Structure 1
Amino acid sequence: MTNKDNNPLGKLAIAILIGSFVIAIAIIVNSAVQRITNGNNSSNNPEKIYENITYIKTAGSPFLGNAGAPITIIEYIDFECPICKRAYDEIIPQLKKEYINTNKVKFVFKSLPLENIHKTAYIKIEAALCAYNQGGNSAFSRYHDELFDRFSMNPALSMEDELISIAMQNGLDQTDFRNCLNNEKNKPIIQKDIVEAIAINVSGTPSWLIGKSNAEGLTDTVKLNGLHEYFVYKTIIDQLMTNDQK
C-alpha cells in the first residue's frame, strides 16, 4: 500500500470536494425552479427556463403513470441514442419507483429521431408508435423497453423483420403492424413532435421538460438537455410539488 493510500487528509479533501460539488449542483437546480415560480426567465441560467408552455401538448402521446398526476415529464427520445439507452437503464427505473408508480408523475414520450446520425431511428420510432396504435400505453411501454433491451439488433434479420418480430412477441397483430409501418401511419405525429422540439430549441436526445401538469400540457416548466444525475430530476420534481402545495 502506498503513502498516498494512507493519507487520510487527502481522502478527506476529495470527500469535501465531491460534497461541495453535489451541494452546488443542488443549489443551481433549486434556484432555477425558484426563478420559474417567481416569474424570472433569465437566460443566464445553466438550462433555459420556460414559463407556461401551454403549446406543448401531451394529449395523444404515449405515457407512463397516472394521467392525472400533478407533475409531467416529457422525454424526447431516439431509440438509437446511446445516452437515451443510459437514461432507460439508470434514470427511468428510479423515476418509476419514486414518482411514476406512486401517481406523482406522468411520464410522456415524444419522438426526436436524429436521422443524420442514426439511420434507423425513424423506423424504430414508427414501430413503437404502431405498437401504441394497437395496444395503447402498455403496448408502447413494452415495445419501448424491448427496443432498448435489444439496443444492438439482430444482424441476421432485416430491420423491418426484427421490428415485426418484436411486435408479434408482444401479442400485436402482424398484418396491422406491418401495414402501419409500411404506410408510415405515424409520420404526422413524429413530424409534429420534431416541430415542437425545434420551437423550444431541443436539438438532441435525450431532452426533458419537467413541469406542473395542466389540462393541455405543461406549465412552470424546466428544460434539461442531456443526461443528468438522478438527484437533479428529483430536486426539480420535489421543488415543483412543494411549490404546488403552497
Structure 2
Amino acid sequence: MSCSFARAGTRAARILFGCALMALLGPACAQTGGSDEALRREIEELKKQQAETQRKLDELIETLQPILERLPKPFRPQRMSFKGSPVKGEPSAKVTLVEFTDLQCPFCVRYYKNTFPRIVKDFVETGKVRYVAREFPLASIHKDAQRAAQAALCAGEQGKYWELRDKIFHNRSRLAPEHLEEYARAVGVEIEPWKACLESGRYNEKVARDVRDGSRLGVNGTPSFAFGLTDPDDPESITVQDLIQGAYPYEEFARRINKLLD
C-alpha cells in the first residue's frame, strides 16, 4: 500500500508543478486552456482514488485489530519453583523442561504417545534435559482430570507416578474412581495407603499451586511447556525462558531444546 501512495503523490506533485508553471507563463498558458480542465479532472480523480484507498485501509485495520489483540505477546522470562513435582532425568542436566498437563486431555494424550517418548530417549536419557510434570486439570471441561492428577501424585509417594500416569493416558475415557484403582493395582501400587492419600485431599494445594504457576506464565490450555536452564544452586527452580502451548511435533521441541543447549 505504501508504494501506491508514493506513486499517487508523485503524480499529483507533477500536476501541481505544471499548474504553477502555467501561472508563471501567463498568456502562453491561455493557448492551452483546455488542458487546465483536464488537469483539474485528473487531480479530482486522484483525490477520489486516494480517499477510496484510505477507506479500504481503515476497514482492513478494523478487521485486523481483534486478531492482533489475540496474538501472543513476547514471552518475558520468569522465575518458577517446581518443588515437590515429579521429575525425570539427571539433576545436572543443562535444560529443564516443565510440562503442564491435563490427564484427561486428548491433545495431551497425543503428545504423550507421539512426542514424549522421543524427548525422553533423545534428551532425558542422554542427560541433556530434566523433565518435570506439573498438573493443570481443566476441571470445567474434564470432570475426572482433577482426581486423576491427585491419583497420580499419590502413586508418586510409592515411586509410581510415571507408571500410573502412563496407564491414565492410555485410558483417558475411563477415569472413574474404580478405574483409577484398577490402574493403580496394575502398576503395583499398594492400594490402602494410596486410597488414604487420595481421600485425604493431600495434593489439593499442590495441584492448585501448579495451576496458579502455569496461569502466571500465561498457560491457558494443555499441554503447555516451559523451557529453562537448570540452576545448579537452586535445582528445584528455573528461570523460564520460553513457553509453548499445544501438542507440537517432536521437531519443534528439539529445536527449542537445542537452542538452549547451544
TM-score relative to the length of structure 2:
0.69
Partner of 1:147: 168
- Describe the shift of the 1:142–1:76 C-alpha distance in structure 2 as closer, same or farther (beyond 3 A): same
Letter in 1 for 2:180: L
Partner of 2:76: 50
Partner of 1:211: 228
Deviates more, 1:181-190 or 1:219-228: 219-228
Partner of 1:61: 85
Partner of 1:181: 198
Q: How does 1:121-132 map to 2 (within 5 A)?
A: 121-132=145-156
Distance of 1:222 and 1:142 partners within structure 2: 28
Partner of 1:71: 95
Q: CA deviation at 1:59?
A: 2.3
Q: Match of 1:179, SS?
A: helix
Distance of 2:192 and 2:133 partners within structure 1: 25
Q: CA deviation at 1:89?
A: 0.8
Match of 2:129 among 87, 105, 121: 105
Distance of 1:44 and 1:185 partners within structure 2: 37
Q: Match of 2:139, SS?
A: coil
Q: CA deviation at 1:217?
A: 1.8
**Could you tell me whether the CA contact under 8 Å between 1:61 and 1:109 is conserved in 2?**
yes
Q: CA deviation at 1:223?
A: 0.4
**Could you tell me whether the CA contact under 8 Å between 1:49 and 1:223 is conserved in 2?**
yes
Letter in 1 for 2:251: F
- Describe the shift of the 1:220–1:121 C-alpha distance in structure 2 as closer, same or farther (beyond 3 A): closer
Deviates more, 1:76-85 or 1:215-224: 215-224
Partner of 2:243: 223
Partner of 2:185: 168
Distance of 2:248 and 2:158 partners within structure 1: 33
Letter in 2 for 1:177: W
Partner of 2:260: 240
Larger RCO, structures 1/2 (Cα 8 Å, 6+ apart): 1
Deviates more, 1:57-66 or 1:91-100: 57-66
Letter in 2 for 1:50: R
Q: Match of 1:134, SS?
A: coil
Which structure shows the higher helix fraction? 2
Q: CA deviation at 1:220?
A: 5.4
For structure 1, the residue ranges without an aligned partner over 5 or more in a row are: 1-42
Q: CA deviation at 1:45?
A: 8.7
Partner of 2:22: none
User: CA deviation digits over 1:40-71, x for unaligned, max 9?
Assistant: xxx999673232x22x1122100111122110
Partner of 2:29: none
Q: Match of 1:85, SS?
A: helix
Q: Does residue 82 of the first structure (1) align with residue 85 of the second (2)?
A: no
Instruction: Tell me which stretches of 4 or more aligned residues in structure 1 moved more than 3 Å.
Output: 43-48
User: CA deviation digits over 1:151-170, x for unaligned, max 9?
Assistant: 2327xxxx112111211222
Letter in 2 for 1:165: E
TM-score relative to the length of structure 1:
0.73
Letter in 1 for 2:147: I
Letter in 2 for 1:148: F
Asked which structure has the greater CA Rg, the reply is 2
**Could you tell me whether the CA contact under 8 Å between 2:226 and 2:240 is conserved in 1?**
no
Percent identity among equivalent residues? 28
Letter in 1 for 2:166: D
